[in-house]
Amino acid sequence: DPVGPDGEFVIDYSVYDAWRAGFRKVVFIIREELEAPLKEHFAANLAGRMDMEFVCQRLTDLPDGLQCPATRQKPWGTGHAIWCARNVLHGQFACINADDFYGAESFRVLADFLQSGAAQRGDFALVAYQLAKTLSDFGTVSRGICRVEGGKMQDVVERTSIRRNAAGQVEFEENGQKFPLTGEEPTSLNLWGFSETLFPHLDRLFKEFLKTNLQEPKKEFFIPTVVDTLVKGGIVQVHALPTPERWFGMTYPEDRQLVVENIAKLTAQGLYPARLWERQRG
């Protein structure tokens, strides 16, 4: 759904913020039917600013000549999505969700990390949000809560049913019990910094996943699980980069109006132009 004053989508703001932070190429990992409308939407807007490439995440794109079972309808997950782009992602890159608004500073801190060359040496990064800045006013959310020591991510635990209660305190529910949270916990929203050194690990772990889950129609291969496995195995270090930004997205239909209002405020403050791509158009 459009959320900006000139009909922009959330992904427009992420691409714009990435461009401002110094990124010069965007790879869209998509369903096949989205390629034509996305090309039409972005071609003129990005001309002269960013190169763009499209990769289709196909159920049949599997290693070692494996065949996709007929029962499989669901995509293989975020880890598979990145694996599908193995032939076009070179050097260092950021990984985002298309439907999350991350904020300009989040892209800047990640760009600074990537420009340091750390990812090329095999260190990765996660932009970590304060949990309280990632909640919805209209229902519970699931979030990856990170344990960080000395600026490095030690592990990430997926918590479900997180919300702010009537007293304004952040809590999550598990097995019918409520547990308090401070709201300051470092939180993953899948804004990662990687390099091509990820792909041998991704390939190995995806093959291991398929050994036990090829015939499971709903099992997914998630990138946070991949990173957690690599960290716990002592294979990579993941730098947790704190961001002051507040996330917003459309977890619930009611969230959309809040997203529209927040973007209108940021635009009124001069943080974004009223027509996001106007300069690129003319």
Q: Token pair for residue 6?
A: 């000139």
pLDDT score at 150: 97
Of 221, 132, 214, the residue nearest 172 (C-alpha): 132
Q: Token pair for residue 145?
A: 């809560």
Bridge partners (DSSP) listed for residue 27: 53
Query: In this prediction, what percent of the chain has a pLDDT beyond 90?
Result: 92
Of 54, 49, 6, the residue nearest 29 (C-alpha): 54
Please, which residues have CB within 8 angstroms of residue 130's CB and are 6 or more apart in sequence? 183, 184, 185, 186, 187, 242
Instruction: Quickly tell me which residue has 């995440």 as its tokens.
Output: 57
Domains within the chain, CATH numbers bracketed: 10-281 (3.90.550.10)
pLDDT score at 279: 53
Contact predicate 101/10, CB 8 Å: yes
Q: Over the stretch 210-236, which tens digit does the pLDDT of each residue have? A: 999 999 999 999 999 999 999 999 999
Q: Over the stretch 172-186, which tens digit does the pLDDT of each residue have? A: 999 999 999 999 999
Q: Over the stretch 116-154, which tens digit does the pLDDT of each residue have? A: 988 778 899 999 999 999 999 999 999 999 999 999 999
pLDDT in tens, the chain (282 residues): 899 999 999 999 999 999 999 999 999 999 999 999 999 999 989 999 999 999 999 999 999 889 999 999 999 999 999 999 999 999 999 999 999 999 999 999 999 999 998 877 889 999 999 999 999 999 999 999 999 999 999 999 989 999 999 999 999 999 999 999 999 999 999 999 999 999 999 999 999 999 999 999 999 999 999 999 999 999 999 999 999 999 999 889 999 999 999 999 999 999 999 999 875 443
Instruction: Quickly tell me which residue has 């298309």 as its tokens.
Output: 98
CA distance 79 to 96: 12
CA triple 120-125-128, angle to 5 deg = 165
